[in-house]
Amino acid sequence: MKEIKKELREKFSKTCRSMILTGVCKGTCCGVVPIKKEIVIINHNKIQVKPKEIHYFDSKKVCMICEDMLCPFLNRRTRDCAIHEDRPEICRNYGLIPILQCPYINMKGNKRSEAKQRRQLRLLGHEIDNKIKIMENSSPNKDYANRR
């Protein structure tokens, strides 16, 4: 079982690499991600871009927000993760579980057809819009929408 999972991860990451190398994907799944404080502290020298804001996600995790809304540990040129060995669980599972599907690669690690990529991107767009609406409605500061 462990071997099958490892093989799938390797296949997925190979396809992911080719999506980036061919410019189909710009590595945009590496956005604002909650990361354990201890991981941030031990890897502080690997930060690629200084975040402009740091928010506490809960008592153990922080969300670091950069100007470009990408993760501070993402190498903007190579699109590599500077803390690959220490990356959070959410990053390890990205694309491999139903609620975190990659728009470009299916859960078997195969490249999606262009029509399916467009469909997944549309779904992702709706999901993000819905999350923003929930945040706006629950935000005590109604100016939130104007600050985006």
Binding interface with ligand SF4 (CB under 6 A): 16, 19-20, 25, 27, 29-30, 33, 71, 73-74, 81, 83, 87-88, 91, 94-95, 102, 104-105
Q: CB of 115: closest distance to ligand SF4 in angstroms?
A: 17
Q: CB of 31: closest distance to ligand SF4 in angstroms?
A: 7
DSSP 101: -
Q: 18 vs 136, which CB is nearer to ligand SF4?
A: 18
How far apart (Å, rounded) are the C-alpha atoms in residues 19 and 34?
25
Q: 22 vs 138, which CB is nearer to ligand SF4?
A: 22
Q: 95 vs 137, which CB is nearer to ligand SF4?
A: 95
Q: CB of 147: closest distance to ligand SF4 in angstroms?
A: 23
How far apart (Å, rounded) are the C-alpha atoms in residues 132 and 144?
10
Q: 124 vs 136, which CB is nearer to ligand SF4?
A: 124
φ, ψ for residue 74, nearest 5 deg: -85, 125
- Contact by Cβ (8 Å): 47, 39: no
Q: CB of 81: closest distance to ligand SF4 in angstroms?
A: 3
3-class secondary structure, 7: helix
Among 114, 98, 93, 108, smallest CA distance to 29 is for 93
Strand partners, 63: 34, 55
